[in-house]
Structure 1
Amino acid sequence: MNFNLENSINQQINLIHFADVELFVKREDRIHPFVSGNKYRKLKYNLKEAESLGFRTLLTFGGAYSNHIAAVASAGQLLGFNTIGVIRGDELKDAKNDSETLQFAKSCGMQFKFVSREAYRNKTSRVFIDSLKAEFKEFYLVPEGGTNALAVSGCEEILTEADDDFDYICCAVGTGGTISGLINCSKPSQQVLGFPALKGDFLQQDISKFANKNNWKLITDYHFGGYAKINTDLITFINEFKNNFNVPLDPVYTGKMMFGIMDLIEKDYFPKGSKLLAIHTGGLQGITGMNSVLKRRNLPIIA
């Protein structure tokens, strides 16, 4: 696959009014247009495993605007895998053309199976998986969001020796795989801060399954109401951040993380002299779909 890891540079954010704190963004979003950021990291070893085991079909799960669905479809096309997406919401079957993410995934050759939201909750059960095997025969299963032990191994490669002098490592949190990898490859002197996009404390347990250090904390005040929930304050922040620093942010993950970081800096959460590294986990393909939703709600769009 044509991935450019050299594009994952640490870009400094010029904090004119907060000179006592340094902030950098690791531009993982620039690795690839669709298999970007943590999606590349999570899929890297999973796809190698699928290939070594002789599988030619990948099956995974996600919603109508899922970055993960788009990434698996794109990676599958690039590597010659067939791809199947089990999509949450059977009501989307007749409206799939309204989702730019699903249109893109379909253009990459992904086959869809739409299931009810109730059935989707059982996606990890043996009965549900067996029914998928009966329907689609042999496939390599990639979990929703891509998080498993192989994904965590890939995310452990995000930080390099050049990042050793940062005091704080910050990242958005969805299923917990990315932050787990960051925790495992961080230095004992570093603190890893996670900014969940979802409400609830269940992620603590999920992360603890994979993380091998205790130098981490979840900042749960910046989910904006839950997964994919946004408001005009967040939209304004994302647009201003891009205009001021030339760093695009997505509204589901990185936008909320960066909003939280900047708010904490203003509140003097970080000691003077702290050096922060925020991980840009990609997800920019979802902006087009979110803008369609915002237009229908007569809200400002993301530039």
Structure 2
Amino acid sequence: MPHPPERPLDPEVLAPRLPSPLQEAPDPRFAARGLTLLLKREDLIHPELPGNKWRKLVPNLRAAAAAGAQALLTFGGAYSNHLRATAAAGRLLGFTTIGVVRGAELADRPLNPVLSACAADGMRLHFVTRGAYRDKDALLPDLQARFGDFYAVPEGGSNAAAVHGCYALGAELAAHAEVAAVACGTGGTLAGLAAGFPGESVGFAVLKGDFLGAEVTRLQQAAFGGARGRWRVEDDFHAGGYARTTPELAAFATDFEQRHGFALERVYVAKMLWGLTTLAESGAFRPESRVAAVITGPPSG
């Protein structure tokens, strides 16, 4: 069977704003410890593929195009920004998109704003049980039979290609900060950021569990053949689990928005900033350090 022709990606469609803006954010909670807070505005990279989604997804899109794929299939939860970005990329670039969504019970409920946006961009949503979702490889034969040929992009877009894409984020920060902080869902952004950043990289887990450290190690091994950079994962600021919140987190996010004048994405970014501010106030970072908080995306909706 002949290899399908490569489909070029339109550079005008994917044209990013790079390097993303780096803004100083005066904050007395950091200043009291001799720290300077910087905001790395990855949310401004691209209007449809913002933040770490651009850095992680575009390498996968190029690989799919090189393979001649016509359809993309990927995985995510009900509030997955990755699903939303993949659906938007499909609309922009002419890929058919399929989203495998964790939670079979969601099929009988009205779509939330994230999944509604996916559907509006043409993504076919396929809901599976949470148990089945845990073993995604076992799902692939049934998905192939149901949907035909597709290029599979992992949950969160996190694989070796994505890690290489996020390396540039660390390199952009190298001359400007001693500490870099990022929210972690699947670990791909932290794995690449830490490899390209010579300072201290801190990932803030947005899910319960202590699995992300091992996942970052696995991704760096796949991308670079071994560990890279100085990094750690903080597991104490997930507020109860993915997309969960607490009154303390909600109050922090509202206060931060009022102090700094932009809306926070609540599932990832607010938790990272909450954790980072807590650590800064506790004296966790060396005085006179410049601390860069990576704003990985805008609020949903």
Question: Do Structure 1 and Structure 2 share a fold, with TM-score over 0.5?
Answer: yes
**What one-letter code is carried by the residue in structure 1 that aligns with 2:92?**
L
| Structure 1 residues 21-170: aligned runs within 5 Å | 21-95=35-109, 97-125=110-138, 128-161=139-172, 163-170=174-181
- The question of 1:245 aligning with 2:277 is answered no
Match of 1:8 in 2: 20
**What one-letter code is carried by the residue in structure 1 that aligns with 2:205?**
P
Deviation at 1:162, TM superposition (A): 5.7
* Per-residue CA distance 1:207-263 (angstroms, 9 max, x = gap): 111333251111222111121110121112111111111232222111011011111
Is 2:182–2:190's contact at 8 Å kept on the other side of the alignment? yes
Match of 2:192 in 1: 181
Deviation at 1:114, TM superposition (A): 1.4
**Kindly tell me: are residues 6 and 151 of structure 1, through their superposed partners in 2, closer, same or farther at Cα, counting changes over 3 Å?**
closer
* Per-residue CA distance 1:26-61 (angstroms, 9 max, x = gap): 000112334111111111110001001100100011
- The question of 1:229 aligning with 2:229 is answered no
**What one-letter code is carried by the residue in structure 1 that aligns with 2:283?**
D
* Per-residue CA distance 1:97-142 (angstroms, 9 max, x = gap): 34111111111011111112222122123xx211111111110001
Deviation at 1:75, TM superposition (A): 0.8
Match of 1:172 in 2: 183
* Per-residue CA distance 1:139-174 (angstroms, 9 max, x = gap): 000111110011111111213456324111111111
Match of 2:223 in 1: none
Secondary structure of 1:242's match? helix
Deviation at 1:63, TM superposition (A): 1.7
User: CA separation in 1, counterparts of 2:164 and 2:282?
Assistant: 34
Structure 1: gaps spanning 5 or more residues = 289-303
Deviation at 1:68, TM superposition (A): 0.9
User: CA separation in 2, counterparts of 1:90 and 1:245?
Assistant: 39
Is 1:30–1:36's contact at 8 Å kept on the other side of the alignment? yes
Secondary structure of 1:35's match? coil
Is 2:43–2:50's contact at 8 Å kept on the other side of the alignment? yes
* Per-residue CA distance 1:193-216 (angstroms, 9 max, x = gap): 111111222111111113332511
**What one-letter code is carried by the residue in structure 1 that aligns with 2:196?**
C
Is 1:148–1:177's contact at 8 Å kept on the other side of the alignment? yes
User: CA separation in 1, counterparts of 2:147 and 2:29?
Assistant: 57
- The question of 1:275 aligning with 2:290 is answered yes
Deviation at 1:2, TM superposition (A): 4.6
Q: Percent of counterpart pairs with the same letter?
A: 41
**What one-letter code is carried by the residue in structure 2 that aligns with 1:168?**
V
Is 2:197–2:229's contact at 8 Å kept on the other side of the alignment? no
Structure 2: gaps spanning 5 or more residues = 1-12, 221-226
**Kindly tell me: are residues 162 and 258 of structure 1, through their superposed partners in 2, closer, same or farther at Cα, counting changes over 3 Å?**
closer
**What one-letter code is carried by the residue in structure 2 that aligns with 1:60?**
T
Report the aligned-residue RMSD.
Answer: 1.6
Corresponding residue pairs, total:
281
Secondary structure of 2:58's match? helix
| Structure 1 residues 254-293: aligned runs within 5 Å | 254-285=269-300, 288=301
Match of 2:3 in 1: none
Deviation at 1:192, TM superposition (A): 0.6
User: CA separation in 2, counterparts of 1:168 and 1:198?
Assistant: 22
User: CA separation in 2, counterparts of 1:202 and 1:264?
Assistant: 21
Is 2:22–2:40's contact at 8 Å kept on the other side of the alignment? yes
Is 2:264–2:270's contact at 8 Å kept on the other side of the alignment? yes
**TM-score, with length taken from structure 2:** 0.89
Match of 2:224 in 1: none
Is 1:21–1:272's contact at 8 Å kept on the other side of the alignment? yes
**Kindly tell me: are residues 150 and 16 of structure 1, through their superposed partners in 2, closer, same or farther at Cα, counting changes over 3 Å?**
same
**Kindly tell me: are residues 17 and 177 of structure 1, through their superposed partners in 2, closer, same or farther at Cα, counting changes over 3 Å?**
closer
**What one-letter code is carried by the residue in structure 2 that aligns with 1:238?**
A
